[in-house]
Amino acid sequence: MIGARPERVHVIQGECFVTDKQDAVLTTVLGSCVAACMRDPVLKIGGMNHFLLPGGGEGSGNNEAERFGVYLMELLVNGLLKRGARRENLETKLFGGARTVQGFADIGGKNIEFARHFLENEQISYVGGSVGGDQGRRLEYHPATGKARQFLLPRTVAPVPRPEPRVPQVPASGELELF
């Protein structure tokens, strides 16, 4: 169909989407989260996930598994394999992992480290992307071609909150009782 608009699918936190549609465009918005964009270039199928936290969420409730990297990376790989992708053909681009809040743990950095370690352990080819920094990203990924475009978002690094000093309350009468 000439002039047909591509199918756009927005992948939100904790989701994974796999497609074999040649005109599909997968989108997401990332801060400290990481999105893995994975595909089989021979079959021209691919997908994207969007995880909040590294690892597998040891010690967290079962209903929180979708927030963690291990669950979503496995979901993406298995989704591709179910559609006929071959593990040895898989290639991945990683995006996100920004440090958007200074003074707290660098969750973005831990997400990046986890994703790279996962790909290395699973012997899945890492072909690039854009990770780290201090800006969020809006991402568009075309699984059939492997092309990705990112748009950096304005910096929103929040200052570390400082506690206000407590001033002792003095009674309105001016009297103060000491113990």
The CATH number covering residue 57 comes to: 3.30.1330.200
pLDDT at residue 27, as a whole number: 98
Q: What is the pLDDT of residues 58-104, one digit of tens each?
A: 554 555 666 799 999 999 999 999 999 999 999 999 999 999 877 77
For residue 162, is it within any domain? no
DSSP per-residue codes, the chain: -TTPPPPEEE--TT-EEEE--TT-EEEEEESS-EEEEEEETTTTEEEEE-BSBSS--TTS-GGGGGGBHHHHHHHHHHHHHHTT--GGG-EEEEEE----BTTS--HHHHHHHHHHHHHHHTT-EEEEEEE-SS--EEEEEETTTTEEEEEEPPP-PBPPP-PPPPPPP--TTS-----
Examine residue 157 and state whether it is found in any structural domain, yes or no. Answer: no
Q: Is residue 105, in this structure, part of any structural domain at all?
A: yes
Q: Which of 9, 24, 33, 101 is catalytic?
A: 33
The total number of structural domains that make up the chain: 1
Q: Is 90 exceeded by the pLDDT of residue 129?
A: yes
Q: What is the pTM of this model?
A: 0.81
| Whether pLDDT at 141 is above 90 | yes
Note the pLDDT of residue 97. Answer: 97
> Above 60 in pLDDT, residue 10?
yes
Q: Judge whether 33 counts as a catalytic residue.
A: yes
**What is the domain extent for residue 77?**
8-152
Q: Is residue 3 part of a domain?
A: no
> Residue 1 domain-assigned?
no
For the cut 90, the answer to whether the pLDDT of residue 149 exceeds it is yes
Q: In the predicted model, what is the mean pLDDT of residues 26-48?
A: 97
Residue 84: inside a domain: yes
Q: Note whether residue 159 is domain-resident.
A: no
Would 163 be classed as within a structural domain?
A: no
179 has pLDDT over 90: no
Whether residue 156 is predicted with pLDDT greater than 90 in this model: the reply is no
